[in-house]
Amino acid sequence: MQRISCPERDDWRTTAEACGFDFHTIDGERYWDERAYYAFTLEEIEEKIEAPTGEIDAMCLELVGRAVGDERYLKRLKIPEAFWPLIRESWRRDDASLYGRLDLGFDGQGTAKLLEYNADTPTSMFEAAVFQWTWLEQAIERAIIPNAADQYNSIHERLIEAWKKLGQGRHLHLAGATDNQEDAGTLAYLQDTATQAGLATTLIDIEEIGWRDGSGFVDLGYSDIALAFKLYPWEWMFQEQFGANLLMAPTRWIEPPWKAVLSNKGILPLLWEMFPNHPNLLPAYFEDDPGAQELGTSFVRKPLYSREGANVSLISEGVAFAQAHGPYGGEGFVRQALASLRPFDGQHPVLGSWLVDHTPCGLSIREDEGPITGNNSRFIPHAIL
């Protein structure tokens, strides 16, 4: 694994905007940054990233199976009891999952370590699946990278195949916060892949979903919502005014309700309990667990529920050296061992390993000049050399 500086395409901004990637710059700062790329060997991809991703996903599914059969797990995750039946029924129906992203710490030395699982509403899908592939093709054409370079990336094709399985002739609604640039871009991209799979689709804002007694959830035209992709966290949906209606609605959701288990940072200590000393896990404990003292005074403190790294603190020798503020933490915290990773030219990369239909299929990389807590990160492309 190497970080290699390279020239950027002089027309990358217009290329991005022409294909709808209009959030390449956020608050005046680069979000997409192709002045460097990460290079891997095929062996690193297959053995150090792809294989562990599949193994971690299998462990996570085993955890869900335990949780739906033992309320002690759901209590520890602070999932509202009213929604336990929804989660159990979703799992027992074998409701399908479309995608997820494991965030891994890996520096080319040793084994990849699970930092967290973005199981419910992961973004950066378009830039991972499409725009970095466009970069690869044009970078080869312009002799920026070697002619024989490749990329670990079959996300786009697998999404289309997954939608074919999920659709089953139903109309697909896609909902989220459409006033958020990144969310809107992700929804538009997923709508495009669903359309390519032959599904009829409607994209709406999450606030436009209504309720009709005797029918269920409906859109603004009062059409029933039979199948819905929602870029909106389950823990938020549980708290919404219409949350109680989830229990009686016939809508099938993507991601399914059982993903509420895996989108919770509490899975980190639960996985560590189930698979102690697993090479791809970091020691982790609930903060009120006496075992948390084993981490000493250096650890990462994460809320059970958090988005974009909010309320995450990196603590060394009892002092927080990186932290992000936010509204989370009321349900409790977990502590996770700090990953010991070498920086690359002062950069700290986090690898996003993508799963579509439980199949590892691609990689995205974000980095920052300091240890990442989830904010102000840049997206850096990758290649296999």
Query: Where is pLDDT greater, at 55 or 122?
Result: 55
Both 134 and 230 in one domain: the answer is: yes
- Residue 308: pLDDT above 90? no
Q: How confident is the model at residue 313 (pLDDT cuts 50, 70, 90)?
A: confident
Of 320, 336, 352, the residue that ends a domain is: 336
Lowest mean pLDDT among 39-53, 109-123, 151-165, 368-382: 368-382
**Does residue 277 sit within a domain?**
no
CA-only gyration radius of the chain, Å: 21
pLDDT at 59: 98
- Residue 191: pLDDT above 80? yes
How far from 345 is each of 29, 259, 372, 375, 384, CA to CA, in Å? 20, 37, 15, 19, 20
Q: Which of 357, 348, 354 is nearest to 125 (CA)?
A: 354
Both 82 and 198 in one domain: the answer is: yes
Both 326 and 350 in one domain: the answer is: no
Both 320 and 352 in one domain: the answer is: no
Query: Where is pLDDT greater, at 277 or 309?
Result: 277
pLDDT at 169: 84
Both 305 and 354 in one domain: the answer is: no
Both 188 and 322 in one domain: the answer is: no
Containing structural domain, residue 66? 2-264+344-384
Both 157 and 224 in one domain: the answer is: yes
Average pLDDT, whole number, for the chain? 93
- One-letter amino acid identity for 97? S
pLDDT per position as a tens digit, 324-383? 788 888 899 999 999 888 888 878 899 999 999 999 999 999 987 555 555 568 999 999
C-alpha to C-alpha distance for 196 and 289, rounded to whole angstroms = 48
pTM above 0.75, yes or no: yes
pLDDT per position as a tens digit, 204-262? 999 999 999 988 999 999 999 999 999 999 999 999 988 999 999 999 999 999 999 99
Query: Where is pLDDT greater, at 293 or 314?
Result: 293
**Does residue 274 sit within a domain?**
no
**Does residue 373 sit within a domain?**
yes
Both 177 and 116 in one domain: the answer is: yes
- Give Cβ neighbours of residue 206 (< 8 Å, ≥ 6 apart): 175, 176, 177, 230, 232
Measured at the alpha carbon of residue 75, what is the angle toward residues 71 and 77, in degrees to the nearest 5? Answer: 120
Partners of residue 204 on adjacent β-strands:
175
pLDDT at 359: 98
- Residue 273: pLDDT above 70? yes
Q: Which of 361, 360, 366 is nearest to 381 (CA)?
A: 366
pLDDT per position as a tens digit, 145-184? 999 999 999 999 999 999 999 998 899 999 999 999 889 9
The mean pLDDT of 87-99, rounded to a whole number, is: 97
How far from 42 is each of 2, 45, 73, CA to CA, in Å? 13, 5, 38
**Does residue 200 sit within a domain?**
yes
**Does residue 154 sit within a domain?**
yes
Q: Which of 233, 234, 215 is nearest to 225 (CA)?
A: 215
Both 221 and 118 in one domain: the answer is: yes
Both 150 and 200 in one domain: the answer is: yes
pLDDT at 195: 97
Both 81 and 43 in one domain: the answer is: yes
pLDDT at 281: 98
The mean pLDDT of 188-202, rounded to a whole number, is: 97
State the pairing for strand pair 227-231/172-176: parallel
**Does residue 78 sit within a domain?**
yes
The mean pLDDT of 268-272, rounded to a whole number, is: 98
pLDDT at 141: 98
Partners of residue 355 on adjacent β-strands:
100, 360
The mean pLDDT of 16-34, rounded to a whole number, is: 90
The mean pLDDT of 270-279, rounded to a whole number, is: 97
In contact, 283 and 123? CB cutoff 8 Å: no
pLDDT at 11: 96
Both 212 and 258 in one domain: the answer is: yes
Tally the domains of the chain.
2
**Does residue 56 sit within a domain?**
yes
Sheet holding 172-176, edge to edge: 201-205, 172-176, 227-231, 252-254
**Does residue 273 sit within a domain?**
no
